Structure 1
């Protein structure tokens, strides 16, 4: 093998996880754990019957806005102390005289619980003034209590907003928008520390008011909940809290929540992290001298292997695939597209070319070499015949003379079949498995294909950026200039050098074709952005 390609390809075992990934510790289901349903692979959680989803950040976090603001301003030990005192004070709101009381369940099991034992904004709007006073005096006793809670006054459709305004007797300021944004930023992630703390508060209120019951075997976990976060292994306690909180939610989020998100979107501007960016063109790391030497070496080896046959499908196809790959590699590097969208498209093409050559070399049968060649000629014939049925001007990139020439090169096209299937009666994935190059398919084919097809993932990756205003819920806004991608050059050079190795095995000789060398890319240049800048607000 060429230098730089001798390392064994690392593979995770079936169902295993790559240990050096930054995501290796996350609870992510593997491909093998997905269930095939037609053309879809369904993850384990989605296989659970009657499963319904519930968004913490979209529908339930706003109901806890008062706690979100305290967590965003106060130190953790201080806001947890406030939450404990509120839980004890408000426990009496939910107590019942009969010991057997439980939260009522909907008769429809698919609907589940409509839990309302929550000290949330909706509940605070429903309680009498005396009970509201008992609640509000606890956070306001903290020196930063007023400053922390004042942004609530910004929310026009907040339940009970008139009473909140009476208690504060002050107008919110522009700085309160910043306070609100910072607080929401801490809880958009449902697993964040602040989110988990607030979700614990919801759970502990239900527990200490006796509205949910547990078996004796749950005693240790209840003690961990009671003394949270100072008791137990948080790697176990925190997930338990989040799991339980999901069952203690209002079944239908209040209507005011959608109006809340609409208001904060309307009243605050987008923050565009890409503003001012231009197009950066990074110089190639491919050594042009070695690239030229490789092409010369391939051509020279081709000439030494020419035979008297008028059509040599094995020779032409093997060398042609390598030369085609070298052409792609040259355009990737010399035209500085290795960090651009077309660079990913080029890598996708290289992956298919590489798998094709490996398969043809593995089978190395005259029938397969001829099938590959005849199929291509048939595609040229098909395209040519379509040009004959086209009215008006042809697309500029089509040269019908070239199509006609290729279609008739080996045999008169009237005797040339058009195969509308696959030249090997297979597909690229099967070819990769049969040729031992499934790793190439897995590593390079799927994601790069997104750029060819313009799938949403590729569109999102290149031309949108996440708004940095937390109040906008991480929505997407267009980039000023589409982003630079990670360079495809190391992967492209690796694939091409491996193809040269295949060619050497097919046509061995004492003259070895040198590999393409890749060095460190030179500093790039940034083209000024002459397009329209993003507006500062949505």
Structure 2
């Protein structure tokens, strides 16, 4: 089985994980060089012959026509259709006449729906049949679907034929042992044990064709994809990860009871304890975010992923503050005024802008009042760096939560920042039409539902509650071991 390279096999260079393949090339493979977009359209005529006759007979037929092509145009390095179509009409006529001695006109007739008589009269005249445009485009779509994966059996057969033509050109050389293996390819079934070694070799050698010898014809690629896509309708599908809303009552009651206990303890025993105020404030903020998920049914939404992200960040921050408490004069006060300083910066920007924004969701005057709640704002600095000079990832590593950060926080941050992976997963629906290159369509009907965040919310909130329990304890009757482990 062909396997993708693992993360550990990638090279980490200047903040970027480079794939083993791109690292060996020292460059990324462009779209025009890719199998599906750039090379398949050039060799689709071979795919149509193979599919028309079947693999065994098709390979023999293709080898015959490739020998004809090689004899007619000795300077060709590869059997690209764009190069054939660019030949003089008289040369094309001679080649197509010779082709038809070995392959039926019907085998290539589907391509006349793209390469029509108005622009490609020689090709269209040679291969036009009575097939309707719908039938022709269906044949092309079927072939594209079967060969879209560059490792598929049909795609690998095509790539073998391309290598075969390279050999005929006399410009492609290899070791004798490799050549002997390669020449066995058409005689072996794809299930033959030897093919486990030969198939990857074929793909690796075919992709290594240098552009300076065989340049890309971007106009041809545009003509092909534009022509075939215009004649096909989108076939949209989406994965609905949504399910019935989970039963949240028992958990919300459990979480609220613990926070109520800690709140009453704070009010009765230590109302001026800044440490408890900060830890309870973070935990309560986290609880209110979960309340929003439940009250507004955000389980399968983009907004819900923002909640998971902040719960994880809150948990990491609580652990970080507790771990480094002894290293600061009062880390709890520092944490409070770091956040208030951010509010001061925003309110000061508003004051200096002199704009009137009565309908803004930001209550600038109220923010200004909060800034000066306990201390004259003239004595409050505004720190624009990370709290304690560490970003969230560094704090996560510092408190032993690197895996939590890597598996959850980075993912949910993609939704928070509108990165393309998150946009693709949540807001675009896949088109299953091969001729549309499996493109995406905006999900303006909001059909795409994401997987529920509820169980991640519970786990993150449980971690936050455990931090409070470790610091302040909790009566036995408020513990629910099933939920704690859930």
Class of the TM-score when normalised by the shorter of the 2 chains: 0.7 to 0.9
Give the aligned partner of residue 370 of structure 1.
333
- Cα distance, 1:339 vs structure 2: 0.4
Whose helix proportion is higher, 1 or 2? 2
How far is 1:255 from its partner?
3.1
Cα deviation for residue 209 of structure 1 reads 6.6
SS in 1 for 2:13: strand
Aligned 8 A contact 2:341 2:381 in 1: yes
Aligned position for 2:426: 462
Distance (whole Å) between structure 2 residues aligned to residue 289 and residue 90 of structure 1: 72
Distance 1:40 1:219 in 2: 38
1:511-526 aligned at under 5 Å gives the runs: 511=476, 513-514=478-479
Structure 2 residue corresponding to 1:356, chosen from 317, 333, 344: 317
Match of 1:331 among 279, 292, 295: 292
- 1:493 and 2:454 are equivalent in the alignment: no
The yes-or-no answer on 1:449 pairing with 2:378 is: no
Tell me if 1:267 matches 2:216: no
Distance 2:299 2:80 in 1: 55
2: CA distance, partners of 1:325 / 1:281: 24
* C-alpha distance in 2 between matches for 1:246 and 1:280: 38
After superposition, the Cα gap between the structure-2 partners of 1:515 and 1:93, relative to the gap in structure 1 and judged at 3 Å, is same
1:55 alignment counterpart: 34
Counterpart contact for 1:350–1:495, Cα < 8 Å: yes
Of 387, 407, 413, the match for 2:377: 413
Q: Indicate yes or no: 2:99 matched with 1:135.
A: yes
Q: Verify: 1:36 aligned to 2:13, yes or no.
A: yes
Q: Distance in 1 between matches of 2:324 and 2:262?
A: 22
- Cα separation, 2, equivalents of 1:423 and 1:469: 50
Q: Which of structure 1's runs of 4+ aligned residues deviate more than 6 A?
A: 307-310
SS of residue matched to 1:189: coil
**When the two structures are superposed, what TM-score results if normalisation uses the length of structure 1?**
0.77
Aligned residue number for residue 503 of structure 1: 468
Distance 2:55 2:82 in 1: 17
Please provide the CA RMSD for this pair.
Answer: 3.3
Structure 2: distance between partners of 1:157 and 1:412:
79
1:149 is matched with 108
- The within-5 A match list for 1:166-177 is 166-168=126-128, 170=130, 172-177=132-137
Q: Distance in 1 between matches of 2:398 and 2:342?
A: 24
Aligned residue pairs: how many? 468
Q: State the structure with bigger RCO (CA 8 A, min sep 6), 1 or 2.
A: 1
CA contact under 8 A between 1:328 and 1:346: conserved in structure 2?
A: yes
The answer to whether 1:290 aligns with 2:251 is yes
| Counterpart Cα distance in 2 of 1:89 and 1:268 | 30
Deviation at 1:131, TM superposition (A): 4.3
Note if contact 2:50-2:58 (Cα within 8 Å) is conserved in structure 1. Answer: no
Q: Which moved more, 1:432-441 or 1:371-380?
A: 371-380
Alpha-carbon distance, 1:457 to partner: 2.3
Mark the CA change 1:119 to 1:261 in structure 2 (over 3 Å): closer, same or farther. Answer: closer
- SS of aligned partner of 1:397: coil
> 1:200 is matched with which residue?
160
Distance across 2 between alignment mates of 1:463 and 1:26: 29
Structure 1: 5+ residue stretches without partners: 1-23, 97-102, 105-114, 519-538
Report the Cα distance in structure 2 between the residues aligned to 1:298 and 1:480, rounded to whole angstroms.
Answer: 40
After TM superposition, give the deviation of residue 492 of structure 1 in Å: 1.0
